[in-house]
């Protein structure tokens, strides 16, 4: 059973839900203690960006993450009245962009909050402006240079909101950037050892990390796109993908454990039968981890798999 369902036509449904929820907010919800605290209010589309925001802001801002569990899919998320309230009070909003969490734009428009600073990771990356083959990979949080830019822009936005603590925001951001640079050094080390090594994926989730590590995705695009969109994989494409393992074309399978189905299970079984290492990746923050420990664990798993 698929944990995440990919749906193409969600904007209209979310817009209707947003308008309905705006009308049914209760007085208790409108009397928000966080808004009355006088400190910057940050709303993040997912707990991934919420954690990054918390590391930059420290205890000087309130951070609300909308998506906080592995069972919630940002592509088809139905916002609540509490979410609507959070967007209406937000000083800063962080979204992934690139089509991943469109509900943020819908809810922010419905909240009629034109004063909020909107940080869109896909736009900040600059990748969406570059010509590229295939579809844009929306999973920006696996790209550390982009997360550096997001942290920088967040620190600047917080300094605008709360100039008194601008030095603290900058210092926190610098600490976060230093940790990201350590992760990038690990990727560079992997690239020096394994550049050109073939890997397979079930979805494009970890591609930024894999490519930064010098690895080459050998998976037919038709396979990973079908899995991501929740459509059927043709027998010919499935067979072509399975042959990656029997022919020794790949050394690692990166398996998104949050989107599974018969085809991905076949891939995993084929990899294990061929002695190909399988590493699990996720789209949302695992329980009990922060962003940096999560990404460190992903790189550790990739290092072990390649070794």
Whole-angstrom distance, CA of residue 293 vs CA of residue 101: 24
Half-sphere exposure at residue 191, Cβ-oriented, CA atoms within 13 angstroms:
13
Q: Residues 134-147: pLDDT tens digits?
A: 678 999 999 999 99
- Give the residue carrying structure tokens 């942290």: 151
What contacts 166, CB < 8 A, 6 or more positions away? 158, 159
Whole-angstrom distance, CA of residue 15 vs CA of residue 228: 23
Give the residue among 188, 108, 178 at the shortest CA–CA distance from 148. Answer: 178
Average pLDDT rounded to a whole number, residues 263-280: 97
Question: CB–CB of 180/85 below 8 Å?
Answer: no
Between residues 213 and 70, the one the model is more confident about:
213
Q: DSSP secondary structure string, 155-188? A: HHHHHHH-GGGHHHHHHHHHHHHHHHHHHHHHHH
pLDDT of residue 30: 38
Please say if the pLDDT value at position 32 is more than 70. no
Give CA separation, 217 vs 45, 105, 197, 205, in Å.
28, 32, 9, 12
CATH 3.40.50.1980 fits domain 11-182:
yes
CA angle 270, 259, 100 (to 5 degrees): 135
29-43, 198-212, 274-288, range with the lowest pLDDT? 29-43
Q: What secondary structure letter does DSSP report for 37?
A: G
pLDDT of residue 296: 98
Whole-angstrom distance, CA of residue 65 vs CA of residue 93: 10
pLDDT of residue 90: 98
Which stretch, 25-39, 125-139, 143-157, has highest mean pLDDT?
Answer: 143-157
Average pLDDT over the chain, rounded to whole? Answer: 87
Please say if the pLDDT value at position 79 is more than 50. yes
For residue 244, the SS3 value is helix
Q: 195-306, superfamily in CATH?
A: Nitrogenase molybdenum iron protein domain (3.40.50.1980)
For residue 263, the tally of other CB atoms under 10 A from its CB is: 18
Please say if the pLDDT value at position 72 is more than 80. no
Please state, for a pLDDT cut of 90, what percent of the chain lies above it. Answer: 75
Q: Residues 146-180: pLDDT tens digits?
A: 999 999 999 999 999 999 999 999 999 999 999 99
Q: What secondary structure letter does DSSP report for 142?
A: G
**Which pTM was predicted?**
0.86
What contacts 241, CB < 8 A, 6 or more positions away? 200, 219, 220, 223, 233, 267
Please say if the pLDDT value at position 241 is more than 90. yes
pLDDT of residue 81: 86
Between residues 91 and 8, the one the model is more confident about:
91
Which residue intervals of the chain bear CATH 3.40.50.1980?
11-182, 195-306
pLDDT of residue 259: 83
């Amino acid at each position: 059973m698929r944990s995440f369902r990919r749906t193409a036509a969600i904007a209209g449904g979310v817009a209707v839900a947003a308008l309905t929820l705006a009308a049914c907010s209760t007085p208790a919800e409108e009397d928000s203690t966080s808004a009355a605290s006088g400190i910057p209010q940050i709303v993040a589309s997912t707990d991934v960006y919420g954690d990054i925001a918390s590391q930059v802001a420290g205890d000087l801002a309130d951070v609300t993450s909308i998506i906080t569990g592995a069972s919630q899919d940002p592509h088809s998320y139905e916002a609540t009245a509490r979410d609507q309230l959070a967007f209406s009070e937000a000083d800063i909003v962080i979204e992934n962009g690139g089509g991943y969490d469109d509900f943020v734009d819908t809810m922010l428009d419905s909240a009629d909050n034109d004063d909020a600073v909107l940080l869109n990771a896909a736009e900040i990356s600059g990748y969406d402006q570059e010509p590229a083959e295939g579809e844009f990979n929306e999973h920006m949080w696996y790209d550390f240079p982009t997360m550096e830019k997001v942290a920088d822009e967040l620190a600047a936005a917080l300094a605008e909101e709360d100039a008194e603590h601008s030095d603290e925001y900058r210092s926190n951001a610098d600490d976060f950037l230093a940790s990201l640079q350590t992760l990038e050094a690990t990727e560079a080390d992997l690239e020096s050892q394994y550049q050109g090594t073939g890997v397979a994926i079930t979805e494009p989730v970890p591609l930024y990390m894999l490519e930064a590590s010098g690895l080459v995705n050998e998976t037919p695009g038709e396979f990973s796109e079908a899995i991501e969109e929740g459509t059927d994989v043709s027998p010919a494409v499935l067979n072509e993908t399975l042959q990656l393992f029997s022919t020794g074309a790949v050394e690692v399978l990166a398996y998104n454990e949050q989107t599974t189905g018969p085809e991905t299970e076949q891939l995993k079984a084929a990899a294990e039968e061929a002695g190909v290492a399988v590493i699990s990746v996720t789209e949302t923050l695992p329980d009990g981890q922060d962003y940096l420990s999560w990404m460190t664990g992903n790189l550790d798993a990739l290092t072990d798999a390649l070794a």
